Amino acid sequence: MPAQITQLPAALEATYKAREVEGILDLYFYRKIGFWLARFFARLNLTPSAVTLMGGVFGVFAGHLYYYRDLRINVAGMLLHVWANALDNADGQLARLTNKKSRQGRILDSLVDHLIFFSVYLHLTLRCLNEGASPAIWLLALAAGASHALQAVAADYCRNAYIYFAKGKAQADFDSYSSLLADYRKLDWFRQPWDKFLHALYVCATRQQEVLSPGLRQLRDTVTLQFANDIPSWLQNHYRNVIRPTFKLWGFLMTNTRMFFLFLFLIMDRPAWFFWVELTGFNILFVFLILQQEMKSRSLLGLARAHP
């Protein structure tokens, strides 16, 4: 029988992680489509992970279509990429509608996102080589891809931190490296190889996040120690007021902005420019935001320590 759909007064709003962390395109396009798809998939009794994998297939194939120097084929790839992104929104909305949220689902979602952009970077590189680019394009693509990966994990970490501190722990997926490592060690490679593999990826990503934002990690640990499972309202409000001015800028390091530049440079027939934007503009913004987040996290840390 179809999955039981949670009945809430504002069903669409209930499928958001938090309205403040949603981009404009997400709020008025992807989330609306995703909500319709989530309800449809719920009636078919599809799991969020199945939707995630479906989106991954479309996204990886979209990356392949960017290889060809034919704008019609590229546009077909863009449409598939948009569809994959709609499914990427729908899987999380389906999980929240049907109360099927899971850590494994979140990890799989992140893995599929990386696989889609791996396909994009790979096929853009092969296209450039086919058009006569130097083999050094591999180094450019590798550097751009590594930058993309770091920016993505940092943006996700800061988004989850915002939900955790500003909206309350119960709504957040803000795991610590130490707790994840403990859970990882409980799993067995022979009896639970898939779960073990997914947790290995998640542990690695979380470690990167905590290295990039040590002040944010210390703030979480201090708040957990001092306030247990109840973040006081004054801290929630203060975090929201302090972080919100720069938080919106993290949206520029998420998927929608990358897709805009990717589509623009494909239309212009300048695919290599996508790598340069990643290495220059996105990295400059990334460094600025990391420094801002650290400065504000340490300010909030001092405030939390001053309130026993």
| Cα–Cα distance measured from residue 273 to residue 171, given in angstroms and rounded to the nearest whole number | 39
DSSP string for 214-244: HHHHHHHHHHHHHHTT---HHHHHHHHHHHH
- Shared domain for 162 and 302, answered yes or no, is yes
The answer to whether 107 touches 198, Cβ cutoff 8 Å, is yes
The answer to whether 301 touches 213, Cβ cutoff 8 Å, is no
Which pLDDT band, with edges at 50, 70 and 90, does 15 fall under?
A: low
Model pLDDT for residues 50-101, shown as the tens digit of each residue: 999 999 999 999 999 999 999 999 999 999 999 999 999 999 889 888 888 8
Q: Is residue 122 a part of any domain in this protein?
A: no
Model pLDDT for residues 33-56, shown as the tens digit of each residue: 988 999 999 999 999 999 999 999
Domain end among 48, 82, 102: 102
The answer to whether 236 touches 168, Cβ cutoff 8 Å, is yes
Amino acid code (one letter) for 234: W
| Cα–Cα distance measured from residue 42 to residue 182, given in angstroms and rounded to the nearest whole number | 33
7 exposure class (CB count in 10 Å sphere: 0-12, 13-18, 19+): exposed
Placement of tokens 């501190």 in the chain:
165
| Cα–Cα distance measured from residue 262 to residue 264, given in angstroms and rounded to the nearest whole number | 5
- Exposure string for 122-149, b = 16+ CB within 10 A, e = fewer: bbbbbbbeeeebeeebeebbeebbebbe
Beta strands in the chain (DSSP E): none
| Cα–Cα distance measured from residue 17 to residue 7, given in angstroms and rounded to the nearest whole number | 17
The answer to whether 187 touches 195, Cβ cutoff 8 Å, is yes
Number of domains in the chain: 2
| Cα–Cα distance measured from residue 169 to residue 159, given in angstroms and rounded to the nearest whole number | 13
Amino acid code (one letter) for 120: V
- Phi/psi at 173 (nearest 5 deg)? -120, 70
- Shared domain for 286 and 154, answered yes or no, is yes
Domain end among 62, 79, 102: 102
- Shared domain for 184 and 235, answered yes or no, is yes
At residue 242, the pLDDT reads 87
| Cα–Cα distance measured from residue 59 to residue 83, given in angstroms and rounded to the nearest whole number | 8
Q: Is residue 124 a part of any domain in this protein?
A: no
**What is the percentage of the chain residues whose pLDDT exceeds 90?**
52
Q: How far is CA 248 from CA 20, 75, 252, in A?
A: 8, 29, 8
- Structural domain including 11 reads 1-102
pTM of the model: 0.89
Domain end among 81, 102, 123: 102
- Shared domain for 94 and 157, answered yes or no, is no
At residue 141, the pLDDT reads 97
At residue 8, the pLDDT reads 45
- Shared domain for 168 and 264, answered yes or no, is yes
| Cα–Cα distance measured from residue 67 to residue 59, given in angstroms and rounded to the nearest whole number | 14
